[in-house]
Structure 1
C-alpha cells in the first residue's frame, strides 16, 4: 500500500467522523430550538437538595447505614424501632433493653446505645442534579446500594 493510499484512507475516516459530529450537532441544535432555555433558567441548572432520614449504627470502627433513606423522619424512626425489636439480644444487653430503646427512638430519641453499638437517626442530604436539559440521568459510575447494608427482606 502506498503512502498516498494510507493518507486517502485516513482522510476518508476523518471525513466520516466529521460528518457524524456535524449530524450530532445538527440534532442538538434542533432540540435547543424545540426546547429553548430562557436566560433566567440558571435555577434549573443547580443541585436541588432534599432531606431524607435513615438509621445508622456504629459498629467497631465505623458507621453503617442500616436501610435506605426514608422520606420522613417518622418512617425512619419506625423502621429503626422495628429493627431493634426484632434484633436478637446482644449477649451483654437483655431483650427488654432493646424494647426500651425501640420505644425511646419512637418517642424522639435521636441516639440509643445498646452494648457496644450506637444507633442513631440521621439526616441524609440527597441531591438531584438539574441541568439545562432536565434532571441528570444515571451515570456509568453510579453504584447500587450495597446488599450487605440492605436489611430489608427480599421481595423475591
Structure 2
C-alpha cells in the first residue's frame, strides 16, 4: 500500500465506503475525513488501516467529541476543512493547527505539547507511508 493518499468523505455512507476499501485494499492509504461512523465502524476502519483527519469543526457536538476521544492517536491527522468550516464566524485555515491540538488535548486528556508532537509525528509517518518523503524534501 502507498503512493496515494485517499481523502474520503464517508458521511452517511460509512458501511459502503468500508466495503469498497475492503474490496480494493491496494488503492492507496485511506484517510477518513471528519469520520462520523459508529464505534463498530471505527473499529472496522482501524482494522483496515484507515487514518482519520479531524479539525476544529468536528468538536462542535458531543458526539463529535466522543468519537474524537476514540480515534487511534497514532493515525490522526489535523485538517482545517477550510474555507468551508467556520470557527467564531471565520473560515478555519491550516494555520489554525493549534486549535485542533488544544481540542484533542482536552478530549484525550493529554498535555498540549504531547498532542502537538503526536500530530506532527503522525504527519511525518503518513508522508513516509505514501512515499512522498523525497518530494517533501525537494519542496523544503
| TM norm. shorter chain > 0.5 | no
Q: Give the structure with higher Rg (CA).
A: 1
Q: TM-score, normalised by structure 1?
A: 0.22
| Structure with more strand by fraction | 1
Q: Comparing both chains, which one has the higher relative contact order based on Cα–Cα distances under 8 Å and sequence gaps of 6 or more?
A: 1
| Structure with more helix by fraction | 2
